[in-house]
Structure 1
Amino acid sequence: MATPPSASTFAALLRAEGLTVVEVGNWETHNRNHKGPWGPVHGVMIHHTVTAGTQRTVDLCRTGHGDLPGPLCHGVIAKDGRVHLVGYGRTNHAGLGDDDVLRAVATETALPADNEANTDGNRSFYGFECENLGDGKDPWPAAQLDAIERAAAAICRHHDWTERAVIGHLEWQPGKVDPRGFTMASMRTRIHNRLSAGQPATAPAPALPKPSKPVVDLSKLVAAARSNPKAAGKPVTYSGVKTVEIALVNAGLLAKTYSDGHYGTTTVDAYAKWQRRLGYSGSAADGIPGKTSLTKLGAKYGFQVVA
């Protein structure tokens, strides 16, 4: 049982273990803490994502999907071994699991079989999602396995835990199979050997700059906003619509269920609310983006605007 360190300390621990860390957006404050506490923490949980492509995987783990909002973990471990930090605090990664397993992790004793789903794991575990299809065929590159080992060891080293504090999702929640493609027993052996060797001798990996913000093209966005889905032919579509809708969700102006990439009447209404929030009224608050209002939305919620 332990108290999580600050977000900056967490990132520093990973770098001190020789990992290359990518800090994604507002990861330090992106969490689900309003749904319940995070901590005391008892261990580290390893998952696979069932996705391909690092950027797609990172985006998914940061924002979530359907009825499972993000962040879906604290860090995404990519095929190349980089650790992309997407959240810190309570995250939607563990769900309900077995209380007997939690007791074993907390006391660092042998794990029992997981046969119940009665205990909140999001409160008690650090979570790492690892980029892999999870079909047992998608390879686990050496760099990625090394990064999993280092990330788990960094946390165990900080809390003075043994490798027994590291489990797979399949050891926590009945019916889960992740991570698939290597055994947690073999990973715990690697972590044990790393911890037994003492502090890492390598210099901390350098910090990488945060990924550039998404870019929204105003002219394409306006065309999508003005298109009529009931008219003949298909409505105008543009990927930047989803970026703007997510910003409106974060602003509390649009329900998440409507961030579907379609600039329909609900999105128009939400954008009109944003315009009114900025002081516009009448025809100036018609829900069709203008450069000034869109630029202000992007500055506050993380995207760039091109006219």
Structure 2
Amino acid sequence: MATPLSADRLLAALRAEGVTVVEHPGWRTHNRNQAGDWGPVAGVMIHHTVSSGTARSVEICHDGYKGLPGPLCHGVIAKDGTVHLLSAGRANHAGGGDPGVLQAVITETYADRPPAPRAHQGSPGAVDGNSRFYGFECINLGDGTDPWPAEQLLAIERVSAALCRAHGWGARSVIGHLEWSDWKSDPKGFGMPAMRVRVQRRLGTDPARPAVPKPTPPKAPQYEPFPGTSFFRKNLNSPIVTAMGRRLVAEGCGRYRSGPGPRWTEADRKSYAAWQKKLGFRGNDADGWPGAASWNALKVPRTK
């Protein structure tokens, strides 16, 4: 777990990750710190607002409502991807949750999902999530049909990565409210496992830059295996001879007046002898008839 970011560091982390931020008036000091601890923090929690319209949603999350005063989150993520900052302290967003989930988030030891929550606000042993998580409300009706625009999902990815990067966390420190409390179903309409994959991929890139797939490494070059000495002593006509001749020319050993071509000729033998001498062979070892050592050194490309 970690000490919460100051307002300045929170703002800087979001902007460094490419997040478009709107600072709501008074957001730096608007909090519920008087109601309980703020920190140490263990992760980021994603919610949906069950509302529509940016202005109205921001107002509700800023002010709260009867029985649950605002701020209801640290930021509201609008449909267009803009993040409206409402608080840099404790916010009423998470409520009570499962201590087993908190431990799994702290250690980041779970697979694609943390253990199913078995606690909620007011249940025995529930943990105060408002002190342990940053919370971001995403504008969505939460009915499973209200769309999640690409810009909004990208902002969720960026916000989550920004806080993980700032604290040195991995993507398993990002959870949905439904993964914290057995009373909750948000966010509804996209999967948190897939979002964590996006966040983890982003954490492997520079801030504010999209994740780019790693290029496929080029295949290792393939060479013709040594076909044996007798192969060249036949009345030979083969593309292997052409490929060999081109390599001899490339090595400065070509003794051709034309070609090289597919038929083995005396010009091929003289060219190969020059190659053997270049490698340091002398006498009968440089007679122009290919041997395994000199052939493998020549690296003749495969013809098929």
Query: What's the TM-score bracket when you normalise by the shorter of the two chains?
Result: 0.5 to 0.7
Q: Does 1:134 pair with 2:142?
A: yes
Aligned to 1:80: 80
Task: Please report how far the alpha carbon of residue 116 of structure 1 lies from its aligned counterpart in structure 2 after TM superposition.
Answer: 1.6
Shift, 1:87, TM fit:
1.2
Q: Tell me, yes or no, if structure 1 residue 197 matches structure 2 residue 200.
A: no
Amino acid at match of 1:66: K
Moved over 4 A (4+): none
SS at structure 1 position matched to 2:145 = coil
Kept after mapping to 1: 8 A contact 2:16/2:207: no
Q: Do 2:41 and 2:134's aligned partners in 1 also have CA atoms closer than 8 Å?
A: yes
Residue range with higher mean Cα deviation, 192-201 or 156-165: 192-201
Match in the other structure for 1:154: 162
Write the distance in 1 (CA, Å) between the matches of 2:102 and 2:24: 30
**Does residue 1:185 correspond to 2:193, yes or no?**
yes
**TM-score normalized with structure 1 length:** 0.65
The Cα offsets for residues 177-226 of structure 1, whole Å up to 9 and x where unpaired, read as 10000000010010011001233348xxxxxxxxxxxxxxxxxxxxxxxx
Which residues of 2 match residues 229-240 of structure 1 at below 5 A?
none
Aligned-residue offset at 1:66? 1.3
Q: Map of 1:91-240 to 2, 5 A cutoff?
A: 91-110=91-110, 111-117=114-120, 118-201=126-209
What amino acid does structure 1 have at the position aligned with 2:8?
Answer: S
Q: Distance in 2 between matches of 1:13 and 1:72?
A: 21
What secondary structure does 1:28 align onto? Answer: coil
Aligned to 2:28: 28
Mean Cα deviation higher: 104-113 or 140-149: 104-113
**Contact 2:10-2:88 within 8 A present in 1 as well:** no
Q: Tell me the CA shift for residue 128 of structure 1.
A: 0.2
**CA RMSD across the alignment:** 0.9
Q: What CA deviation, in whole Å up to 9, does each residue of 1:53-106 have, x standing for no partner?
A: 000000000000110000000000000000000112110000000000000001
Deviations 1:213-270 (A, max 9, x none): xxxxxxxxxxxxxxxxxxxxxxxxxxxxxxxxxxxxxxxxxxxxxxxxxxxxxxxxxx
How far apart in 2 are the matches of 1:45 and 1:201? 23
Matched, 1:57 2:57: yes
Aligned length: 202
Task: Say which is worse superposed, 86-95 or 192-201, in terms of deviation.
Answer: 192-201
| Partner SS for 1:47 | strand
- Which 5+ residue runs of structure 1 have no aligned equivalent? 203-307
| In 2, Cα distance between equivalents of 1:66 and 1:177 | 22
Which residue of the partner structure matches residue 46 of structure 2?
Answer: 46
Q: Given the two structures, how large is their TM-score scaled by the length of structure 2?
A: 0.65
Structure 1 CA distance for aligned equivalents of residues 175 and 42 of structure 2: 11
Contact between 2:17 and 2:158, CA under 8 Å: does it hold in 1?
yes
